[in-house]
Amino acid sequence: MHITSTFVNSVSSFFSVASNHWYVDRVARPPSQPSASQPSQRSQRRQAGLRKGERREQAILDATDRLLATTPFTELTMDDIATEAGLSRSAMYFYFGSKEEVLGGLQQRIYEKMARTMDPLMVEEVPIAEAMGDAIQRVCANWRAHRHALRTFHETAMVSPTFEAVWR
């Protein structure tokens, strides 16, 4: 019962915060210009928007998300994360100074993904009941996909005032 009420309270809080802070407008990118020659793979990656550092940072966050499914945060080390991400420990420290910073980065990424669950509510042509149903399904899917990380955020916020400020 406690987990269910915590989930319901978290979803309610999320919708309240997300609707109050909805400020992100999607900016359409200009169409790419066709060229006479095929663009290189490097050029294609740059057009996709993720540079090497951004890809590495995403790999670190992905690795942390995967590791939290099997390892409690208190037992997780920067070495574990670096190995899972395919990086050296020194490379890890270039992007994040501590595992708490990694957790904060993962929390931010998941929060941004959760905020996008509100997108169906912005489409005026869709009936509100249908849009709400779609938004709720997206929230539930995100909770299922990131349940280990979300549990870790909650547990860490209970013992770390610094992380609690980020989490809340």
Q: What is the pLDDT along the chain (168 residues), one digit of tens a residue?
A: 444 455 445 545 544 444 443 333 333 334 444 444 555 655 555 556 678 889 999 999 999 999 999 999 999 999 999 999 999 999 999 999 999 999 999 999 999 998 888 888 888 888 989 988 988 999 999 999 999 999 999 899 888 888 888 777
Amino acid identity, residue 152? T
pLDDT (0 to 100) of residue 38: 56
pLDDT (0 to 100) of residue 15: 47
Cα 56 to Cα 5, 47, 51, 78, 157, distances in angstroms: 37, 17, 9, 14, 26
**Nearest-angstrom CA–CA distance, 118 and 15:** 8
**Nearest-angstrom CA–CA distance, 130 and 89:** 47
**Nearest-angstrom CA–CA distance, 155 and 125:** 40
**What's the pTM?**
0.68
